[in-house]
Amino acid sequence: MRIGVLALQGAVTEHIVSIEKTGAEGLPIKRVEQLEEVEGLIIPGGESTTIGKLMSKYGFIEAIRDFSNQGKPIFGTCAGLILLAKQIASGEPGHLELMDITVARNAFGRQRESFECDLDVKGIEEPIRAVFIRAPLINEVGPEVEVLSVYKDEIVTARQGNLLVSSFHPELTDDFRLHQYFTDMVEASGTTA
Amino acid sequence: METGTTRVKRGMAEMQKGGVIMDVMNAEQAKIAEAAGAVAVMALERVPSDIRAAGGVARMADPTIVEEVIKVVSIPVMAKARIGHYVEARVLESLGVDYLDESEVLTPADEVFHINKREFTVPFVCGAKDLGEALRRIGEGASMIRTKGEPGTGNIVEAVRHMRVINGQIRRVTNMSLDELYNEAKNLGVAYDLLLEVHQLGKLPVVNFAAGGVATPADAALMMHLGADGVFVGSGIFKSDNPEKFARAIVEATTHFTDYKLIAEVSKNLGTPMKGIDIATLTPAERMSERGR
């Protein structure tokens, strides 16, 4: 199984390391045509404004929408969550607008408020160590969206069909269970070659 | 729930990888930088080339400038404190700055000791010109390293030298036996545990950016080619004829640093880059990279 990691900016190598721990192959994706080589895609953490601009510039908006419409799974972490959301709470325009959620950027405050904690995630047995860095929150979810974890009553992990998002950074720890959850989604999607 | 952990501080720098951090002097420039795709801005009173020209003592920026920049952008805001100036660092932290640069671009406040950065919740970036300096700064709690280069010169030669020296030393350390490592820790003046970590990882335990002399998109791409995780651009952008276009070009060249056609494309008609200074004409006292050990 081959999983792409969108490599325009951000924590790309960490995701590739986590993906390879699940036994799948991880590939950095810099050009749209490389999407044909993978069965699932991770949109990593980074600066959502930077990644968003580069995505538009290089034709990734349409290409990733097509990828999703084919039922291929996409996992967005932190900035990736913002990029997948239909709506951004501040009223700024969305990017991929694929997932029926409204997100608030930098919802916990500035870097000094960034933190890590233990977090229960539905479908994963023991809590995982979640690292939140200038993290976004999901304010609202549509009827199709399943909430997988909450932190202090706020939604931080969710799934809608082939789309998975987390506010935190599972790639910054050695624990690859959320990546395993994602590769299981890719396996089950039946799009693997 | 824990704030300011090593993972949270180093993780912040990981999120900046593959990106460009731009020096800005006011809100308007900060907005241009953000719109061009900067991953962060460094709020300053004067860019390094102006500091060089003005002479005298260079200090932390006026808090008004820092606040003004924080207000207008959603990307992280960095600011510089003088080497060893604990209070400037605390003041900037209190303003909500996301990352502090304990920087040789400013006049050092302490010629021996750097700030104990482990005490802070906010992460720090520090300059280094060799592996010894990089690991001493990490030992003091720096969560990100950048080459010192020679700031405000528009001349890439020193940043190239520092990146090559650091990466060459890492390659040697990676191949050493454990008994050689003890001696190397002594030679470099660094903690054995940190050197062992480099030996095992084959890289620094934190992100390493290029800084100090990046003046063109090709310069930024060269530093990525040499193994930089990202790029700081100081005087280069807002000293150029068309900062907006120039900033966008640097961002694209950094992302696609092996796509030479694209770099050619974005480099067209950028106008005159900053004039630049031949390093050989600088006296030792004029070299910012000699500040801090």
Q: Which helix (H) or strand (E) segment is B174 a member of?
A: helix B157-174
State whether A50 and B98 contact (CB < 8 Å): no
- Catalytic residue (one of A14, A39, A95, A169): A169
State whether B19 and A112 contact (CB < 8 Å): no
Mean pLDDT of chain B: 95
Contact predicate B80/B103, CB 8 Å: yes
The interaxial angle of helices B217-225 and B243-255, nearest 10 deg, is 20
Q: Strand, helix or coil at A91?
A: coil
Contact predicate A193/A39, CB 8 Å: yes
Segment B37-51 mean pLDDT: 92
- Cβ of A4 under 8 Å from any chain B Cβ? no
Q: B82 vs chain A: nearest CA distance in angstroms?
A: 20
Structure pTM?
A: 0.95
Nearest to B49 by CA among B207, B240, B223, B183: B240
Residue B103, phi then psi, degrees to nearest 5:
-115, 140
Residue B129 has a pLDDT of 96
- Catalytic residue (one of B9, B71, B80, B261): B80
Catalytic site residue A171? yes
For a pLDDT cut of 90, what percent of chain A falls above it? 96
Nearest to B131 by CA among B181, B78, B79, B81: B181
Nearest to A73 by CA among A161, A176, A174: A161
User: Chain B residues with CB inside 8 Å of A78's CB?
Assistant: 15
Identify which of B7, B40, B252 has the shortest CB distance to residue A116: B7
Q: What is the largest CA-CA distance in chain B?
A: 55
Nearest to B199 by CA among B209, B191, B208: B191
- Catalytic residue (one of A14, A15, A39, A171): A171
Contacts of B248 (CB under 8 A, 6+ apart): B36, B37, B266
State whether B76 and A169 contact (CB < 8 Å): no
Residue A191 has a pLDDT of 63
- Cβ of A33 under 8 Å from any chain B Cβ? no
Nearest to A107 by CA among A68, A126, A81: A81
> Is the pLDDT reported for residue A192 higher than 80?
no
Place A156 in a pLDDT band, splitting at 50, 70 and 90. Answer: very high
Count of positions (residues) in chain A = 193
Mutation for B interface: A114, A152, A168, A173, most B CBs within 10 A: A114
**DSSP E strand boundaries for B118-206:** 124-128, 144-147
Count of positions (residues) in chain B = 293
Nearest to A193 by CA among A55, A3, A10: A3
User: Chain A residues with CB inside 8 Å of B221's CB?
Assistant: none
What span, in angstroms and rounded, lies between the C-alpha atoms of A40 and B24? 39
Q: Strand, helix or coil at B80?
A: strand
Radius of gyration of chain A (CA): 15
Q: What is the pLDDT of residues B83-122, one digit of tens each?
A: 999 999 999 999 999 999 999 999 999 999 999 999 999 9
Residue B290 vs residue A80, higher pLDDT: A80
Nearest to B49 by CA among B150, B135, B158: B150
Q: What is the pLDDT of residues B130-143, one digit of tens each?
A: 999 999 999 999 99
What span, in angstroms and rounded, lies between the C-alpha atoms of A67 and B44? 43
CA angle B269, B213, B142 (to 5 degrees): 130
Contacts of A189 (CB under 8 A, 6+ apart): A39, A40, A71, A72, A73, A162
Chain B residues with at least one Cβ partner in A under 8 Å: 1-5, 7-8, 11-12, 14-19, 34, 37-40, 74-76, 93, 96, 98-99, 121-123, 251-252, 255-256
The interaxial angle of helices B131-139 and B157-174, nearest 10 deg, is 80
State whether B75 and A9 contact (CB < 8 Å): no
What span, in angstroms and rounded, lies between the C-alpha atoms of B171 and A145? 48
Identify which of A54, A78, A110 has the shortest CB distance to residue B255: A54
Catalytic site residue A117? no
Pick from A147-151, B105-109, B122-126, B237-241: least confident: B237-241
Q: What is the pLDDT of residues B186-205, one digit of tens each?
A: 999 999 999 999 999 999 99
Residue B274 has a pLDDT of 78
Identify which of B7, B121, B255 has the shortest CB distance to residue A8: B255
Q: B97 vs chain A: nearest CA distance in angstroms?
A: 8
Give residue A49's Cα distance to chain centre. 15
User: Chain A residues with CB inside 8 Å of B255's CB?
Assistant: 8-9, 30, 54
- Cβ of A192 under 8 Å from any chain B Cβ? no
Contact predicate B165/B185, CB 8 Å: no
ipTM: 0.94
State whether B8 and A14 contact (CB < 8 Å): no
Q: What is the pLDDT of residues B249-290, one digit of tens each?
A: 999 999 999 999 999 999 999 887 777 888 888 988 888 988
- Catalytic residue (one of A78, A95, A125, A154): A78
> Is the pLDDT reported for residue B57 higher than 70?
yes
- Cβ of A103 under 8 Å from any chain B Cβ? no
State whether A50 and B122 contact (CB < 8 Å): no
